[in-house]
Amino acid sequence: MIDFALDLLKTSLNGHLRTMARVSPDSTEFEQERVSFPKQSKGDSLEFPLNTISMVLVNVEQERTMRRGDPFARVSRNTETSKNGESHQIQPDIPLSLFVLFVARFEEYRTSLEQLSRTIQYFQSTPVFGSPSFDEGIGQLVMELHTLSLAEQHEIWSLLRQPYHPSALYRVRMVVFQDASASPSPQTNMMDLKFNHKESEVVPENVIVERMP
């Protein structure tokens, strides 16, 4: 599901940067990938391809304030084993935020700044992504520019084991994981009750009540 969300952002941004490049659709330059994922190099460090915007996931965070407090929820589903909308017990959805770093690495430093600016402009004009073709567990993606302090930037680049490149960090809300292994809820039947007129109390059927003489 996370891969689907990042693939969607990559494809969308790549199409926008191709349009902004103003090159002929018939040229080989038009087909060039302008957005990519980093490559895994030796020593488990990441390598950012040259002349592209690289996307790297740096953190995943659960939005606890937006998760339902109920430990369980009940939904009605029609499945092969449940034909009549039988009630199923599921775990509540998990709202997530993905922190995605967009890194501009080009031969010319000015080109890096230009492509990063176009990336920020694109997500400013298109902050929400939603489509009927989305994965069942994703409602929509909302882009928020996340500002880092110099100390936080230093920490991230130290973890990536890379020299600093012009970049912008975005919080991507909301990727929602839904419980796919729903189990049928136990049937709850009304307990047969017997009204004792003498004592004016309700007594469950098949329950022996001992009273003091």
Domains and CATH numbers, the chain: 2-67+93-177 (3.30.2000)
Q: How many percent of the chain have pLDDT more than 70?
A: 62
Read off the pLDDT of each residue in 53-61 and give the average, rounded to a whole number: 96
CB 135 within 8 A of CB 4: yes
Summarize pLDDT for 78-114 with one digit per residue, the tens: 444 455 556 666 677 788 899 999 999 999 999 999 9
Alpha carbons 114 and 175: distance in angstroms, whole number: 29
Could you tell me which residue, 6 or 202, shows the higher pLDDT?
A: 6
pLDDT of residue 204: 52
Mean pLDDT score, 130-150: 81
Lowest pLDDT segment from 49-53, 75-79, 177-181: 75-79
The beta strands (E) that lie in the chain are given as 35-36, 39-40, 46-47, 52-62, 73-77, 86-90, 94-105, 128-129, 141-146, 167-177, 183-184, 193-196, 201-204
- pLDDT score recorded for residue 1: 80
pLDDT tier, 209 (very low <50, low <70, confident <90, very high otherwise)? very low
Angle at 149 between CA 145 and CA 154, to 5 degrees: 110
- 5-9, 41-45, 63-67, 113-117: range with highest mean pLDDT: 113-117
Question: Given the DSSP bridges, would you call strands 86-90 and 183-184 parallel, antiparallel or unpaired?
Answer: antiparallel
Can you tell me the mean pLDDT for 27-33?
A: 71
Terminal alpha carbon distance of the chain = 67
Q: Which of 62-66, 127-131, 204-208 has the highest mean pLDDT?
A: 127-131
Kindly compute the dihedral angle of the four CA atoms of residues 81, 177, 53, 102, in this order, to the nearest 10 degrees.
180
Res. 162: pLDDT tops 70: yes
